[in-house]
Amino acid sequence: MCGIVGYVGDGNVYKILINGLYRLEYRGYDSAGIALGSAGKINIFKTVGKVDNLVNFCKDKDTDCTFGIAHTRWATHGAPSDCNAHPHYSEDGNIALVHNGTIENYKLLKEALEEHGCRFHTQTDTEVLVQLVSWIRHENQCTLVEAVREALKQVIGAYAIAVIAKDDPDTIVAARKQSPLVIGIGDNETFLASDATPFVEYTKDVVYLEDEQIALIRKGKPLKIFNFENEESTINVKKLELSISQLEKGGYPHFMLKEIFEQPNTLLDCIRGRVVQGGKKVVLNGVNDNKDKFLNARRIIIVACGTSWHASLIGKRLLQDMCRIPVEVEYASEFRYSNPVITPDDVVIAISQSGETADTLAAVEIARKAGAFVYGISNVVGSSIPRNTDSGTYIHVGPEIGVASTKAFTGQVMVLTLLALTIAELKGTMTQLEIEEMGQWILRIPKIVEEVLGLAPQIERLSLIYTYARNFLYLGRGYSYPVALEGALKLKEISYIHAEGYPAAEMKHGPIALIDAEMPSVIIAPNDHLYEKIVSNVQQVKSRGGSTIAIVTKGDTEISSIANHVLEVPKVPEMLSPIITTIPLQLLSYYIAINKEKDVDMPRNLAKSVTVE
Ligand code: M6R
């Protein structure tokens, strides 16, 4: 949801900012812009479309400068256009600002500024902020940092901003509230970005800005951070664990395909050091260190959005089956406004790949205020959710760049499995033998996933038959129901084909009316305790002329004899089946989208990290 980059130093400012925008493009890609400053001058270039367009636009422009800020946008206020693209600037052209987030009271602020004679040229909330900073600075004859602080005190909303001024060269003022910003400290140069990817090759020393902090970044001077009361904060430098190779496609045509094929390794990384003694023991430090909280939990509430919400549904089943604890799963966006009843005996688990999803972060805040123990499951080290929860676990699957989540989903499900096993051992709800058996299966999962990836050529051929279907149903029961939801979401996101995930048995209560020869159903039917039940669901679809693609366990004969197409996966215990059955669905949506020549890594209207409500 919008990417911000800033740079002050002796390097090639334009090049560093543009490369940074390419790295952050996954966060939003409807328009991009750059403000290039040097003493007494700021050049602003911005265009609708991706960063490539901006680069073409800048070809014959003066990009010589000593400091600058840049932005890649995911529109909230005002359609994607050259004019609405960031940076926005004050009417006198002195100040330029980039923003990620939304200013909720922008209309009121705009009216007040108009009364003072300000004129506006865009439909954005951001232009209001830059005009406000400029007006305050003018009225009070104050420094840029003071004007930013006073302006932000009047703002209601979420933001990460970077501001520069013509009359304050080689300086960037940055601030955040509920949107991420990280500062990279190099040798005589300082970077600023929405995440650390733009500067990973330059420095590993990073400072994560906290909510309501303002950073003063100046060339040749130490970084300063203040709170809104103008008190100086201690600077806490952390070491970044990220390598440049993790941000490249590594020979794959798309990040999504790379990330699908990385899963044997990412799952290995996810379980490393957590399933030990040859599978005999499962150790999740976040749980073991907070035994009492989990042992005394009256119930567990899981909050998440999108794919992470699907992983949460699987988590609910795992926790209920293994630990016999009541579990509720909530969309974070609904939970936050539902006046939820939370007590200090509840454990709230927040799941988020990015660790920055605004709704999930808000749900965390509510749970903490209500006194619950809040546990985060995230992928991005140092992101807001891990920093705002009492404890948690990283899924350790490496950066996920493709907007459609794949390896993060299997990592989340794996961590939830480990979490349930760890609690089950503490509570004694599973025998040692049962735990060991699961532990040993978990160790085999990366190899099994590798085997499932061998289905890729078969799925690629199959995708050709269904590329032009206009609607799909995805059906599953038990552990396979959330897999059906996730399969449908993947198809929608990257191929723009309408797809619905449904509990297979619910189909007869309505959606069955949709079935005809034009409406394929993808049925997730591994050989589990609901297998016989789902056989009859396949028959119901077939007898109404619908075509069926079934994901079945190797050696299946019953469904294989009815379904139009079958994809066979190896047998694993039912509780581990979602990790296995989801892989063919990821590949199916990928190949269908490729056949339709869609941009699978940056699907239209989406953004990787949703930092607005
Ligand atoms: O970063 P998060 O896991 O909190 O993100 C939640 C959703 O925005 C995300 O899963 C989204 O649904 C993906 N595009 C799914 O592929």
pLDDT given at position 1: 73
Residue (of 378, 307, 381) closest to 349 by Cα position: 378
For residues 569 and 470, is the Cβ–Cβ distance under 8 A? Answer: no
For residues 69 and 162, is the Cβ–Cβ distance under 8 A? Answer: yes
Task: Kindly state whether residue 175 falls inside one of the protein's structural domains.
Answer: yes
Ligand 1, atom 12, lies closest to the CA of: 306
Distance between CA atoms of residues 354 and 380, nearest Å: 6
**Which of residues 415, 435, 453 is at a domain's end?**
453
pLDDT band at 298 (very low <50, low <70, confident <90, very high): very high
CATH number of the domain at 136, please.
3.60.20.10
Residues 265, 122, single domain; the answer is: no
Residues 379, 484, single domain; the answer is: no
Residues 581, 439, single domain; the answer is: no
Across 405-424, average pLDDT: 98
**Which of residues 433, 453, 473 is at a domain's end?**
453
Instruction: Give catalytic status of residue 258 as yes or no.
Output: no
Across 435-454, average pLDDT: 97
Across 146-156, average pLDDT: 96
Task: Kindly state whether residue 179 falls inside one of the protein's structural domains.
Answer: yes
pLDDT given at position 285: 92
Residues 430, 512, single domain; the answer is: no
Angle at Cα 26 formed by Cα 461 and Cα 480, nearest 5°? Answer: 50
pLDDT given at position 60: 93
For residues 473 and 520, is the Cβ–Cβ distance under 8 A? Answer: yes
Q: How many structural domains are present in the chain?
A: 3
Residues 199, 138, single domain; the answer is: yes
Tens of pLDDT, residue by residue over 33-91, are 999 999 899 999 999 999 999 999 999 999 999 999 999 998 888 889 999 999 999 99
pLDDT band at 613 (very low <50, low <70, confident <90, very high): confident
Give the distance, in angstroms, between the CA of residue 295 and the centroid of all CA atoms in the same chain: 30
Residue (of 246, 162, 161, 238) closest to 203 by Cα position: 238
Residues 463, 448, single domain; the answer is: no
Task: Kindly state whether residue 209 falls inside one of the protein's structural domains.
Answer: yes
Across 522-539, average pLDDT: 94
Residues 351, 436, single domain; the answer is: yes
302, 353, 356, 602: residue to mutate for ligand 1 pocket, most atoms within 8 A of CB: 353
Across 229-235, average pLDDT: 94
Residues near 97 by beta carbon (within 8 Å), at least 6 away in sequence: 69, 86, 87, 88, 89, 126, 129, 130, 133, 161, 162, 163, 164
pLDDT given at position 243: 86
CATH number of the domain at 303, please.
3.40.50.10490
Task: Kindly state whether residue 204 falls inside one of the protein's structural domains.
Answer: yes
Q: What is the DSSP string of 89-118?
A: E-TTS-EEEEEEEEETTHHHHHHHHHHTT-
Task: Kindly state whether residue 606 falls inside one of the protein's structural domains.
Answer: no
Ligand 1 mean position, distance from CA 613 (Å): 13
Residues 419, 538, single domain; the answer is: no
Centre a 10 Å sphere on the Cβ of residue 571 and count the other Cβ atoms it contains: 16
Q: Which secondary-structure segment (H or E) carries 455?
A: none
Task: Kindly state whether residue 607 falls inside one of the protein's structural domains.
Answer: no
pLDDT band at 135 (very low <50, low <70, confident <90, very high): very high
389, 405, 409, 590: residue to mutate for ligand 1 pocket, most atoms within 8 A of CB: 405
Strands (E), 90-220: 95-103, 157-165, 171-177, 182-185, 190-193, 205-208, 213-218
Residues 318, 179, single domain; the answer is: no
Residues near 205 by beta carbon (within 8 Å), at least 6 away in sequence: 184, 185, 186, 237, 238, 239, 240
Sort 290 into a burial class: Cβ within 10 Å, 0-12 / 13-18 / 19+: middle
Mean pLDDT of the chain: 95
Task: Kindly state whether residue 301 falls inside one of the protein's structural domains.
Answer: yes
305 Cα nearest atom in ligand 1: 6
pLDDT given at position 382: 86
pLDDT given at position 244: 87
**Which of residues 244, 272, 291 is at a domain's end?**
244
Residue (of 170, 227, 224, 181) closest to 206 by Cα position: 181
Across 142-169, average pLDDT: 96
Instruction: Give catalytic status of residue 41 as yes or no.
Output: no
Task: Kindly state whether residue 10 falls inside one of the protein's structural domains.
Answer: yes
Point out the least confidently predicted range of 78-82, 464-468, 556-560: 78-82
Token representation of residue 455 = 């289905």
Tens of pLDDT, residue by residue over 309-349, are 999 999 999 999 999 999 999 999 999 999 999 999 999 99
Residues 441, 469, single domain; the answer is: no
Residues 388, 502, single domain; the answer is: no
Residues 499, 446, single domain; the answer is: no
Could you list the residue range(s) of the whole structural domain that residue 156 is in?
3-244
